[in-house]
Structure 1
Amino acid sequence: MAGGPAPVSVLRLAARACAEDATLDHAAALRKAAARLQLALDPRFTTVDHERLTAEIRQYQLVFRQEQSAALRHLREEALRAMAFFAAFSPRLVGAVLAGTADRQSTVTLHLFADPPEAVLHFLYEKEIPFRESERQYHYRGGRTQRATVVSTVAFDVPFDLVLFAVSAIREAPLGAGGAVIPRASAAKLAELLADEADKT
């Protein structure tokens, strides 16, 4: 490829792979698709390629995976329900459920904010909610990195990842795939999104 964004052939092949496996990393899907088609990706267009791939995944699911729409709405409704439960921690929805590329196997990811972040753990203990802890490293502009506690749990058969941040971290979202800032949505924004979808049906 002559130094430009990923061609449509790469995007479509990567979109199909991501639609069939919601856990597949988008950057990895693009690299594998390009290698299969014997094309080279220009790293200068990583962010653009990621955004175009997200749009291509939505289109693929709309055409070939119509049941995905109902699954996505269910996950968004459960996310809104959870955000009301965690209202004290200013929850923000992120990831595939917000982007619209999730399917019924996807995990709902929420960013929660508290001082200290471990206050969320105490809240879960008080509510007697079982969970599993792990860590995830996030990257920020300027090369800064930060490790955050991730709490994994299941509610109403829906898997959740709760990522715990200090309250100050709500002002700056970390970077996601391709170096773009991770989009976040408040409960009010998610409710608006659901209402817009209902109007279209």
Structure 2
Amino acid sequence: MTETSSDPLRLEIAAAAARLIADGGLDYASAKRKAARQVLGDGAPKGSMPDNDEVDEALREHLDLFDDDHASRVTRRRQAAAALMRRLAAFHPYLTGAVWKGIVAEHAPIHLQLFHDNPKDVEIHLLNDGVRFDVETTPHFRDRSRDEVEAIVFWWRDEPVMLSLYEQDDLRGALKAGAAGAERGDLPSLLARIEAAAQASGARR
């Protein structure tokens, strides 16, 4: 939670952004801008824009209330992510994004960040595994002013996947926890989250 998370205006924009992410498939930045226009018109006061943590909280609440498949989708995509990370272990995979956080709208892919110095090795590995994929680009997770990195997108076990490809040096500093905790995790960290979620679910029954 941020110091301004009780600001009703920020919370209203966060809730509107959450609906746009869940129902329209928008990314966070686009959803926040569109939500601010919906709530305030073109003149948004300074400081009224919610941060990503506030949108995360609103999105989790929205999905828990209106998406009956949310909990099972989180479990399903985390399990698929774990299996895929095992297959891609040579490329130092880390899970990030919606599936790592456990806030998974229907369109949200399993997002793995791979840290390996030759992207072609990853492509060859996938081709040898019979995976058909498309190649796109995505902003660098640490510095959006830098060149975009290669992103490989495909479906695996009926789940959407995006692999973003980084050099091994990019892993240094990547595991520092932010205000909301770690932004990514390796396979043991993911398995710990799966186990914790299973225990919490069992305790609620």
TM-score range, shorter chain: 0.7 to 0.9
For residue 36 of structure 1, report the CA deviation from its aligned partner. Answer: 1.7
Q: Judging changes above 3 Å, is the alpha-carbon distance between structure 1 residues 45 and 184 closer, same or farther for their aligned structure 2 residues?
A: farther
Matches within 5 A, 1:110-149: 110-138=112-140, 140-141=142-143, 144-149=145-150
What is the CA–CA distance in structure 1 between the aligned matches of 2:96 and 2:128, rounded to whole Å? 26
What is the CA–CA distance in structure 2 between the aligned matches of 1:162 and 1:156, rounded to whole Å? 15
Q: Judging changes above 3 Å, is the alpha-carbon distance between structure 1 residues 139 and 69 closer, same or farther for their aligned structure 2 residues?
A: closer
For residue 67 of structure 1, report the CA deviation from its aligned partner. Answer: 1.8
What is the CA–CA distance in structure 2 between the aligned matches of 1:192 and 1:67, rounded to whole Å? 22
Q: Judging changes above 3 Å, is the alpha-carbon distance between structure 1 residues 26 and 182 closer, same or farther for their aligned structure 2 residues?
A: farther
SS in 2 for 1:101: coil
Output the amino acid matched with 1:171: R
Q: Judging changes above 3 Å, is the alpha-carbon distance between structure 1 residues 200 and 149 closer, same or farther for their aligned structure 2 residues?
A: same
Give the TM-score, by structure 2 length. Answer: 0.80
What is the CA–CA distance in structure 2 between the aligned matches of 1:181 and 1:173, rounded to whole Å? 12
Give the TM-score, by structure 1 length. Answer: 0.82
For residue 126 of structure 1, report the CA deviation from its aligned partner. Answer: 2.7
Structure 1 unmatched ranges of 5 or more: 175-179
What is the CA–CA distance in structure 2 between the aligned matches of 1:92 and 1:78, rounded to whole Å? 13
What is the CA–CA distance in structure 2 between the aligned matches of 1:111 and 1:80, rounded to whole Å? 13
Structure 2 unmatched ranges of 5 or more: none
Output the amino acid matched with 1:126: N
Residue in 2 aligned with 1:100? 102
For residue 144 of structure 1, report the CA deviation from its aligned partner. Answer: 4.7
Matches within 5 A, 1:7-46: 7-21=10-24, 23-38=25-40, 40-42=44-46
Aligned length: 189
Residue in 1 aligned with 2:172? 171
Q: Deviations over 1:98-145 (max 9, x none)?
A: 12221333211111122223211222233332222222232635x751
Percent identical among aligned pairs is 24
CA-based RMSD of the aligned residues comes to 2.6
